[in-house]
Amino acid sequence: MAALTPPENPESDPRVRAVFDDIRATRGTDFINNIWHYLAADPGLLERTWAEIKAVMATPSSLDPLTKELIYLAVSVVNNCEYCVHSHTAQARAKGMTPQQHGEFLQIVALAAKTNVLSNALQLPVDDVFRVEKSGG
Amino acid sequence: MAALTPPENPESDPRVRAVFDDIRATRGTDFINNIWHYLAADPGLLERTWAEIKAVMATPSSLDPLTKELIYLAVSVVNNCEYCVHSHTAQARAKGMTPQQHGEFLQIVALAAKTNVLSNALQLPVDDVFRVEKSGG
Amino acid sequence: MAALTPPENPESDPRVRAVFDDIRATRGTDFINNIWHYLAADPGLLERTWAEIKAVMATPSSLDPLTKELIYLAVSVVNNCEYCVHSHTAQARAKGMTPQQHGEFLQIVALAAKTNVLSNALQLPVDDVFRVEKSGG
Amino acid sequence: MAALTPPENPESDPRVRAVFDDIRATRGTDFINNIWHYLAADPGLLERTWAEIKAVMATPSSLDPLTKELIYLAVSVVNNCEYCVHSHTAQARAKGMTPQQHGEFLQIVALAAKTNVLSNALQLPVDDVFRVEKSGG
Amino acid sequence: MAALTPPENPESDPRVRAVFDDIRATRGTDFINNIWHYLAADPGLLERTWAEIKAVMATPSSLDPLTKELIYLAVSVVNNCEYCVHSHTAQARAKGMTPQQHGEFLQIVALAAKTNVLSNALQLPVDDVFRVEKSGG
Amino acid sequence: MAALTPPENPESDPRVRAVFDDIRATRGTDFINNIWHYLAADPGLLERTWAEIKAVMATPSSLDPLTKELIYLAVSVVNNCEYCVHSHTAQARAKGMTPQQHGEFLQIVALAAKTNVLSNALQLPVDDVFRVEKSGG
C-alpha cells in the first residue's frame, strides 16, 4: 500500500512516456519498477529523479558500478528504506555481487553502525591529524 | 569534549598495551587515534572492538579496501557520526580515494538519501520481481 | 500486526471514553483511528497524548493548519514512521493539500535530505552570520 | 552556539520563575541547565516540557530511576543529540551508574545498533510467535 | 572544521563564478555561505545542487516561501544537520518567521517525533481508511 | 519477505548446527527465531553475532536482565527496526516487563525523542558542568 494512487495509464502523458522509454533503453529491459510508476504522478519530479539516477548510477565513472551500488545500498539500509533495500540488493546482485560479498557488506554496515553509536555515545573529540582543513591552504 | 574521561596512562594496563601494540603493528604507524584511547576505559570493549575492526576492515577479503571504506563512510554519514566521518574520510584518502571519487561518493550518498525519502514518503510497495525469497527454495 | 494487544472494549474505561468522546467532538466524526485504540491500553498516556495533539494541532495558532500538517508529515517521513506517513498524508489532504502541493512537498523533503547528507558528509562549518546568539545579548 | 538567543533575565517573567523554582526544589540544587534557559523564550513550551520531564523522570514509578535514565540515554545516543548525551550521561552518573555499568550500557547500545542494521538490511520477516496481537482478543 | 579543504580562489573557475554570480543575483546579496564554497571543490556537484535549490526553494510555487522553509527545517532538525539547522532557521527568520511561529514549529516537530516513536514502538497497523490506493483506480 | 533466501537445511552445516544447539541450550527452548535462520547463510557472521548476543545479553552482569532488554528495545525503536521491536518487546515480556512498565517505557522513549528534537532544533550549547573531561585528569 502506498500513500499515493499512481496514474493508471502513465504513458498516455508524453513526458512520462519519454522517461519510461529512456529507462527501458538504458537498462535493456521492458520492466519498469514501481518507483517510476508512482513518481509518474508528478512528471517534473519523475524527469528530474530519473535524470539524476541515470547520470550518477548508469554512467561510467571513477568508481566501479558494484561499489556505487553498495554505497547506495548502505545509505538505504541505515535509512531503513524497505523499497530501496530490496531494489538495490537486487541491483547489486545484477551487477555481480556474490553471496560472499553480500556477507561482507553486511558485516561492514553492522560494524560501522556499532562504532558510530560508540563514538556518538562517547562524543569523541576528532583527532587533529584528521583535520585536513587545518593542514590545507 | 567527550562524555568520558579516558585513562591517563592506558598502556599501564597490559590488555590495553597488547591492543595498542597490535594497532601499531597492523597499521604500520605509532599513531593511536582517539577512539582507542577512550575505549581503553573498558579493556574488554576495547579488545572486542579492535578485533572486529581488524577482522572486517584490515584483512584481505572479497571486496577491495577502498570499497569497504566507502561503505563504512556512507553509514557514518547517514548516522551523522562526526568522529567517524572525519576518521573514515581520512582513511578513504589513505586508501587511494581521489578528489573525483570523493565527489562521486558525495553524489551517490546524497542521491540515495533523496530517493530513500521519496520512497518512504510514498510508502512504495516492493515489486514482486525484487522478492528473491519467493523465487527461492 | 502491533507489538501490543489493544483493549477489546476500550470505552468501558471512563477515562478512555472521555478521550474518545473529545476526539469525536473535536474532529466532527465518529471515526477513531488506530493509535488511540492502542494507546487506550494506558489511559494516562492516552490522555496526555491526545491533550498535546489537540493543543498543538487542533487549535488555531500563528501557523495555518496545512503548514502545521506538512511540518508534522516531514518529521514522520524522515523518521520513516509508516503509520504516521499514512495518517498525516491523509490529514494533509483533508486540510486541502492539492496533488501539486504534495509534489512540491516531496521535492522539498527529498532536497533537504540530500543537502543534509552533503553538509554532514563535509562536516561544514557554520557561517558566522548564522550565529544569532553572537549578535544577541 | 544555539539557533536562538535565550532571554537575558528569564526569571523576570513570573511563569519562567515558577518553573525555575520548581526545577530547583525538585532537584535540590540552584543550578538550572541550559535547555531551560533556552526554552524560557517560550514560557508555554517551557512549562509543558518541564511538567512532562518531572512527571516521567522525577516521580517514583514501576521502573527504577537508573533504568529510566539509561533508556533516555539510549534514545539520545541513537538520535545523536550532543546536548542530551552529555546531560543524561551526567544524570545517569548522579543516579549511581558505575563505570562498569557505563561500559555495559555502551556494549548493549552498540550491539543493538548492529543487529538493527542486520535485520533491516535483510528485511527479516517477524516470527509468528512474536505476533502477540494474533494470540490476543 | 570540515572534511574537505575548499578551493582558495573558487571564482577563478568560470563554472564556479557563474554559479556564485547567480546565487548573488537570485538572493540580492554579495554574501555566499559556506556550503557553496565547499561544493566548489566539485563544480558539477555545485551546479546541480544550486540549480535544484533555486528551482525548488527560490521559485514561486503552490506553497508559500515560509511553509517551504519550515518543511526544509523540519527535515534538517530530524537529520540533526547542524549546518542546515542554523542556515535554515536563519532563512526562515528572513522569510518572516516570528518568535511565536518558531515556538509553534518547535512544538510540532517535538510532538511529531514523540508520536513517531510511539507508533514505531507499537508497530501500529495502518487504518484501512488511510489506504488511499485501495479506494483509488 | 526478506532480501535474502535463507538456507533450506541450515543445520546440515556443522558450524550452523553448533550455534543453533547453543541457542537452544542457552535459552532452554527448541525454538530458533528467524534472524538466526537468515544469518545461517553466512556461518561466520552467524557465529560472531550469536557469540556477542550471548556474551552481552545472556550473561549475568552489573545491569539486571530487564534493564538490558529495555535499553536494547529503546535503540531498536529509534532505529525503527520492525523485527527487533517485535522480538525484543517479546523478550522484555519474557523477562518480566509488566504492562505498567511497558507504558512507562513508552513514555520515556517518547519524551526523550521529543527533547532530543528540541535540543537539536535549538543546537543547545552543553553546560560546562556536564563536561566531565574538563574536570577530569
Q: How far apart are CA E109 and CA C72, in angstroms?
A: 6
* Structure ipTM: 0.94
Chains with at least 3 CB pairs less than 8 angstroms from chain E: A, B, C, D, F
Of E5, E52, E137, the CB nearest to A132: E5
A 10 A CB-CB count for B61 gives 18
Name, in order, each residue with C-beta under 8 angstroms of A49's C-beta and a sequence gap of 6 or more: A39, B114, B115, B118
Question: In whole angstroms, how far apart are CA A20 and each of A34, B121, D36?
Answer: 12, 22, 54
Distance between CA atoms of residues D66 and D89, nearest Å: 11
B101 pLDDT higher than 80: yes
Q: Which 8-state DSSP code applies to residue A80?
A: T
Q: How many helices (H) and strands (E) would you count in chain E?
A: 7, 0
d(CA E79, CA C111): 13
Number of A to E CB contacts under 8 A, please give it: 32
Q: What mean pLDDT value characterizes chain B?
A: 94
pLDDT tens digits, one per residue of F5-50: 999 999 999 999 999 999 999 999 999 999 999 999 999 999 999 9
> Is F75 an interface residue toward C (CB < 8 Å)?
no
DSSP state of C61: -
E107 touches chain D (CB under 8 A): yes
Nearest 5°: phi and psi at A134? -60, -40
Q: What type of residue is A40?
A: A
Q: What is the largest CA-CA distance in chain B?
A: 58
Identify the pLDDT of residue A95. Answer: 96
Q: How many helical (H) and strand (E) elements, i.e. helices and strands, does chain F have? A: 7, 0
pLDDT confidence tier of residue B131, bands split at 50, 70 and 90 = confident
C14 Cα to chain D: minimum distance (Å): 21
- Taking contacts as CB-CB distances below 8 angstroms, the residues of chain C near D62 are none
Q: Which residues of E touch C39 (CB under 8 A)?
A: 118
Sign for the CA dihedral angle at C99, C101, C104, C110 comes to: negative
Query: Which residues of chain E have a CB within 8 Å of the CB of F78?
Result: 117
Determine what percent of chain C is predicted with pLDDT higher than 70: 96
CB atoms within 10 A of CB E11: 15
pLDDT tens digits along D43-74: 999 999 999 999 999 999 999 999 999 999 99
Write the single-letter amino acid at A53. Answer: I
Asked if residue B135 has pLDDT above 60, the reply is no
Q: Are B102 and C110 in contact (CB under 8 A)?
A: no
Q: What's the full length of chain C, in residues? A: 137
Q: Which residues contact A60 (CB under 8 A, 6 or more apart)?
A: none
Is the pLDDT at A34 greater than 80, yes or no?
yes
Please compute, for residue F54, the number of CA atoms within 13 A of its CA located in the half-sphere on the CB side: 16
CA of C4, closest CA in chain D: separation in Å?
6
Mean pLDDT, to the nearest integer, of B14-34? 97
Closest CA to C81 of D122, F106, A3, E115: E115
Who among A80, A89, A107 is closest to F45 (CB)?
A: A107
Based on its alpha-carbon atoms, the radius of gyration of chain E, rounded to whole angstroms, reads 19
Show the low-confidence residues of chain E (pLDDT under 70).
133-137
Q: What local confidence, expressed as pLDDT, does residue D133 receive?
A: 63
Q: What is the pLDDT of residue D81?
A: 97
- Average of pLDDT values for A23-49? 96
D136 touches chain E (CB under 8 A): no
pLDDT score of E137: 33
* Length of chain F as a residue count: 137
Res C82 pLDDT > 50: yes
Q: Cα Rg for chain F, rounded, in angstroms? A: 19
| pLDDT score of F18 | 98
Tens digits of residue pLDDT in A68-79: 999 999 999 999
Per-residue pLDDT at F133: 63
Owner of C-alpha cell 539516477: A53
Instruction: Give the integer Cα–Cα distance in Å for E26 and E30.
Output: 10
F68: left (phi over 0), alpha (psi -120 to 50) or beta: alpha
Burial bucket for residue A70 (CB in 10 Å: 0-12, 13-18, 19+): buried
Say if residue C136's pLDDT is above 60: no
Cβ–Cβ gap B108/A72 under 8 Å: yes
Shortest Cα–Cα distance, F3 to chain D (Å) = 5
pLDDT of res. E133: 63
Q: Chain E contacts of C100, Cβ < 8 Å?
A: 62
End-to-end CA distance of chain F: 53
Q: Looking at beta carbons, which residues of chain A come within 8 Å of C105?
A: none
Which amino acid is residue B71, in one-letter code?
I
CA D17 to the chain's CA centroid? 23
E to F CB pairs, distance under 8 Å: 53
From the list D45, D75, D79, the residue facing E106 with the nearest CB is: D45
Taking alpha carbons only, the member of C73, C67, C75 closest to residue C96 is C67
* B10 contact partners, CB below 8 Å, separation of at least 6: B16, B17, B20, B37, B40
Q: What digits encode the pLDDT tens for the residues A50-63?
A: 999 999 999 999 99
Q: For testing the chain F interface, which of E117, E119, E122, E124 should be mutated: the one with the most F CBs within 10 Å?
A: E117
Return the number of other C-beta atoms located less than 10 Å from residue C51's C-beta: 13
Q: Are A20 and A10 in contact (CB under 8 A)?
A: yes
CB pairs under 8 A between B and E: 20
Angle between the C99-122 and E65-78 helix axes, to the nearest 10 degrees?
50
For chain B, how big is the Rg over CA atoms in Å? 19
Q: Is the minimum CB–CB distance between E104 and chain C shorter than 8 Å?
A: yes
Does A39 reach chain D within 8 Å, measured CB to CB? no
Q: Do D77 and A106 make contact, defined as CB atoms within 8 angstroms?
A: no
Please report the pLDDT score of residue F131 as a whole number: 80
Q: Distance, in angstroms, between D128 CA and closest chain A CA? A: 20
List the single range of A27-31, A129-133, C63-67 with lowest mean pLDDT.
A129-133
Q: What is the mean pLDDT of chain E?
A: 94
For residue range F60-82, what is the model confidence (pLDDT) as tens digits?
Answer: 999 999 999 999 999 999 999 99
> Which residues of chain C neighbour E77 with C-beta distances below 8 Å?
75
Share of chain D above pLDDT 70, in %: 96
| Nearest residue to A6 (alpha-carbon basis) of D17, B124, D22, D46 | B124
Q: Residue F40 corresponds to which amino acid?
A: A
Smallest CA–CA distance from D7 into chain C, residue: C137
> E137, A3: Cβ pair inside 8 Å?
no
Cβ-defined contact of E111 to C33 (cutoff 8 Å): no
Q: Nearest by CB to F115, which of D84, D112, D118?
A: D84
Interacting residues of E111 by C-beta distance below 8 A, sequence separation 6+: C52, C53, C56, C57, C72, F114
Contact criterion met (CB < 8 Å) for E130 and C61: no
Has residue C24 got a pLDDT over 60?
yes
**Whether residue C135 has pLDDT greater than 50:** no
Instruction: Please state, in angstroms and rounded to a whole number, the distance separating the CA atoms of residues A102 and A108.
Output: 10
Neighbours of B9 (CB within 10 A): 9
The cell for A118 is 560508540
Q: What is the pLDDT of residue B137?
A: 33
Interchain pair B1, F134: CB under 8 A: yes
A111–D contact, CB cutoff 8 A? yes
Angle A99-122/B43-57 helices, nearest 10 degrees? 150
Tens-place pLDDT, residues F84-120: 999 999 999 999 999 999 999 999 999 999 999 999 9
Of the candidates E3, E75, E80, which has its C-beta nearest B85's C-beta? E3
Give mean pLDDT, residues B103-123: 97
